[in-house]
Amino acid sequence: MARIKVLFVCLGNICRSPAAEAIFLKLISKRGLQDEFIVDSAGTGSWHVGKKADQRMRIAAKHRGINIESIARQINKKDFEEFDFIITMDNSNFNNVSSLRNRESSKGNSKIIKMQSFTSRFKFHKEVPDPYFGGEDGFDNVLDILEDSVEGFLKSIHSV
């Protein structure tokens, strides 16, 4: 059976997308589905390539039992061929990812989707806000939104 490949994307791959990746990994592990998926995250920019996720996000996630272990990388042409779903955190990420695929004339069939398409409790948020320049509570807010939306995404692609 082919594994479902999911890539979460934000701007720098140090806050939102690694958190979404870690939440998804925890969720599928809890449900015994880890062998059915390949999960990763990336950023549209290259500023943080090779770095761990933002310490503030790692701490906030750890308080919820979520372990963020990914190392930042930038999305590339190959991702459009490798991943079934590319989930973006905001409109800018969505537009940048869509433009990259068009510019690279990628043959990939990946579906580019906004994370907030799957929310059930945070419908007033049209995007997952970037907590990088805000206060500590912004990281908890983002985790609340991501936990809801990631669960909605999993339900939309897998009968759980």
Residue numbers annotated as active site = 10, 16, 130
Alpha-carbon distance 14 to 142, whole Å? 13
* Cα angle value 141/136/46 (rounded, 5°): 85
54 contacts 14 by C-beta, under 8 angstroms: yes
Alpha-carbon distance 7 to 14, whole Å? 14
